[in-house]
Amino acid sequence: MSTAIQTSDTLLDESVFAGKIFIDGEWVVGGGGEIPSIEPATGATLAMVGLADPADVARAAEGAARAQKEWAALPHPARSAVLRKAGQLWEQYADEIGGWNVREVGAIPPLAGFALHVTAAETYEAAALPSAPLGSILASEEPRLSLAQQVPVGVVGVIAPFNVPLILAIRAVAPALALGNAVLLKPDPRTVITGGVSFVRIFEEAGLPAGLLQLVPGGADVGEALVADPRVRVVAFTGSTRAGRAVGEVAARYLTRAHLELGGNSAFIIRADADVDKAVNLATWGSFLHQGQICMTVGRHIVHESLFEEYVSKLAAKADSMHVGDPAAGQVHLGPLIDEVQRDRVHTLVQDAVAQGAELRAGGSYDELFYRPTVLANTPRDATAYADEVFGPVASVVPFATDDEAAALAADTQYGLSLGIVTADVFAGLALAQRIPTGIVHINDQTVNDEANAPFGGTGFSGTGSRHGGAQANVDAFTETRWITLRREPGQYPL
């Protein structure tokens, strides 16, 4: 039975955090100054948020390293209790945090609600980690007890993106804390309140001791300082492949372990035996949810030639019927893109694809930051809108004749995150999936799925594999392995 939590009615009081960062349990003015948190749907300033500088990162890392030792030494039920309470608080404050998610991130309310659901689930899953098996007994050829023990790494850096800031931060923050580490959290400056301030406040109210969660928003200089700090031994980064390469390069220079969850250009294969209407329903969600600003978004629709025209026509009709607008003002299917830079990039990719020969069957236009869901048919394989991650509501559809051709098309990418296949023969679908290297496969489903206990990660340009989801992945990600032996008497050697 859950325990009732006595808290205030408002979690995110702007008078407390406005223009500040959070170090060693206190809201302080950061060396990077402050910037406005902008509502992308309206351009309105929601609040001022503070920015850190490299000196703030060093101070935060020092405090985190100091606090971590005592935290790791606590009995495991004490750490579990903090995580369980945090999970309850995510649920209790879901409406308030969800409102910030809608306004600051541009998420439609159902997506904001799903993000809070997964965030709470991730926290509850993490609450079980302190009591999980953290080692094993090894066979030894010597007369001794031989053990492998998983111990906290110490300080973990978490760098999270703007698009789904709750899920993409909590899946590292919660298990890292649960396993006895301290965390430096660097959210994207555009979504600091949803992806940063809410974390600080939740864990404050859950009873997390000061210093264990430090909030250091900032730009590339702050990210580099975080990765380079000698007290940060693991960095969990989620973001673009380009930025992930930069993080990986700095991490390699300082021998810091980096878990990189990067971009995607997921394939969605529609075999000849598929139901087109059901496939289009899946495709609509997979390509247009959250304006396509999801790493798992369906980018390439690979459709059997016998179904191609029907599929394109129905997907285009669905796109034309969708309402795009302010998700805080009424019911819409798509909200705004995050900013003008992203909008202009999406529009340039669509225009370039059409100039190269793609057929624009729906969309391809925008009003302010509201980009219409777009369908491109017969997109050339070398068009960037087909070959690379768009991070916008753009579906490129191409035909195939045989399963061999479908497998070749799907595998013809540097990315390897998620794959969807629609077919009446699930075993044929599984056999097809085995020929396409990706970290995630969904048969008779689209590519955008997330569950707190499931492994998540990709291959190739999509990252360094599954480092999130499930006890084993989390333990491996946020602990070091020590070999320990014990003898009754000192060993004797011939020298």
Q: Point out the residues that are catalytic.
A: 261
Handedness of CA 469, 111, 324, 197 (dihedral sign): negative
Cα–Cα dist 107/137, whole Å = 47
Measured at the alpha carbon of residue 164, what is the angle toward residues 161 and 167, in degrees to the nearest 5?
100
Helix (H, G, I), strand (E, B), or coil: what is residue 216? coil
Helix (H, G, I), strand (E, B), or coil: what is residue 111? helix
Cα–Cα dist 217/196, whole Å = 8
- Are 60 and 52 in contact by the 8 Å Cβ rule? The answer is yes
Q: Residue 168's beta-bridge partner residues?
A: none
Cα–Cα dist 253/257, whole Å = 10
Q: Which residues contact 420 (CB under 8 A, 6 or more apart)?
A: 266, 267, 268, 269, 282, 286, 298, 441, 442, 443, 445, 446, 447
Question: Which residue carries 């995580």 as its tokens?
Answer: 83
Amino acid at the residue 416: G
Give CA torsion, residues 216, 222, 227, 228, to 10 deg.
Answer: -120
- Are 291 and 337 in contact by the 8 Å Cβ rule? The answer is yes
Which ranges of 207-355 would DSSP assign to H, the alpha helix?
220-228, 241-253, 276-288, 308-321, 340-355
Cα–Cα dist 322/14, whole Å = 35
